[in-house]
Structure 1
Amino acid sequence: MVELLTVIALTIVVAIVPGPDFAVVLRNALVGGRLAGIMTALGIGLALGVHVTYALAGIGLVVSQSILLFNVMKLIGAAYLIFLGVTMYRTASREMPADVKTMGMPPLKALRWGFFTNATNPKATMFALSVFLQVTSPQTPLWTQIGYGAIMVSGVSLWFILVTMVFTLDPVKRQFIRMKLWMERTFGILLTLFGIGIALTTHSSRP
């Protein structure tokens, strides 16, 4: 029971604390519409499922003991976030893109944004490792650990779907359209800063 409550608490904290995942979901939902936000959330859930899978398989133990491997992963994640942030800033405009106006953000593109943002996020890696290397014990049955993984994935996905539902309400969307340019630039700057922050801590950090 203590393990279960700890997993739930960690999932809630990781989900609600603003970070790259939140910025990408919010941006895609406001620009591309509700479906884009939901697909981004599902992409994040799929990537978290990858983290859970390798943690369960024991690969996470290797990563947690190798500062070189972990730092390489962090640098890849940092580079992706910086690229995404710069792209978002450069493409910001006051007007909705013509293709978005007519059909919204392509669902697969939104899914891909969510997946790669989470897959390259060291915080997501640490989330999975902290659960399966510190919260659980060798006595925890495999099926129970799989259940914990399902809680983590579904909890984070549902949170970002809820964020999407709230921020795509008409009053919120109308407010966003009036502030579109500076909000997109803000999201771009935030993602870039997240990436720079990760890169600057790479040399001394280890799991």
Structure 2
Amino acid sequence: MLGIQNLSLFIASGLLLNVIPGPDSLLIMARSATQGWRAGSAAALGVGAGTMMHVLAAAAGLSALLATSAAAFAIVKWVGAAYIVYVGIALLRSKPGKAAAPAALPPQPYRRIFLQGFLTNVLNPKVAIFFLAFVPQFISADAPSKPLALVVLGCVFNFNGMLWCHALAVFTAFASQRMRLKPRVTAWLSRLTGGLFIGLGLKLALSKPN
């Protein structure tokens, strides 16, 4: 149907790729641990919106531009790296809360958390390259509409990714509550996450299209 092939393999591969930790997962976990599962889910929805932007861009051929134009890739890469490092620095600077308010990160409106998730994902050019390189492998050469097939596969990938991201948000919030971490411990966990964010941002800054 639509020239899509090996759909079951695509779903399995996509689930495995979503499980690999990255900036999106770290943001979801950080927000869930400090502000509850709803905050984590807000970040997850932002990540999903960013993923859909990459899907539509790939279908429109913009991802091909990022893959072939060094200048375009460099611009998106540096903006995305700077934002991820900025989030990491914010986490590093977080201070332990009081006993009545154990969250290490200051609470944020869900709209702002959604935007954080969106920007963390959409400003990562590696995601664009992923959709350009990975998804077409599951589209047959004689597909009647390759862009439509890519959008359908992208939606399938995003749906499965959202299942994982929301499960991660709920699990992280539940584990954080059960462990009843002290404010100072949650602050150090946030700083550890911030350090990982900075490392990922620097890795992204030094990455190349191929």
Measured against the shorter chain, the TM-score band is 0.7 to 0.9
Native 8 Å contact 2:92 2:190 kept in 1: yes
Structure 1 runs not aligned, ≥5 long: none
Match of 1:84 among 87, 105, 111: 87
Partner of 1:69: 72
Residue 181 (structure 2) aligns with: 177
Q: Which residues of structure 2 form unaligned runs of 5+? A: none
1:2-22, CA deviations, whole angstroms, 9 ceiling, x for partnerless residues?
442343233212210001011
Task: Report if aligned partners of 2:30, 2:193 keep a CA contact under 8 Å in 1.
Answer: yes
2:172 corresponding residue in structure 1: 167
Q: Which moved further from structure 2: 4-13 or 132-141?
A: 132-141
Structure 1 residues 133 and 67: alpha-carbon distance in aligned structure 2, compared to 1, 3 A threshold: farther
Give RMSD over aligned pairs: 2.5
Take 2:99 and 2:17, find their aligned partners in 1: how far apart are those partners? Answer: 31
1:200 CA drift (Å): 2.4
Higher helix share: 1
From the superposition, tell whether residues 146 and 183 of structure 1 become closer, same or farther in structure 2 (CA, over 3 Å).
same
Normalised TM-score (structure 2) = 0.85
2:199 aligned with 1:193 = yes
Q: Give the Cα separation in 2 of the matches to 1:51 and 1:163.
A: 22
Partner of 1:49: 52
Matches within 5 A, 1:140-151: 140-142=143-145, 143-151=148-156
What's the TM-score once normalised by structure 1's chain length? 0.86
Give the distance between the partners of 1:145 and 1:199, measured in 2 at CA.
28
Identity between Structure 1 and Structure 2 (%)? 26
Q: Give the drift of 1:78.
A: 0.7
Q: Offset of 1:50 from its aligned partner? A: 0.0
CA distance in 2, matches of 1:96, 1:73: 41
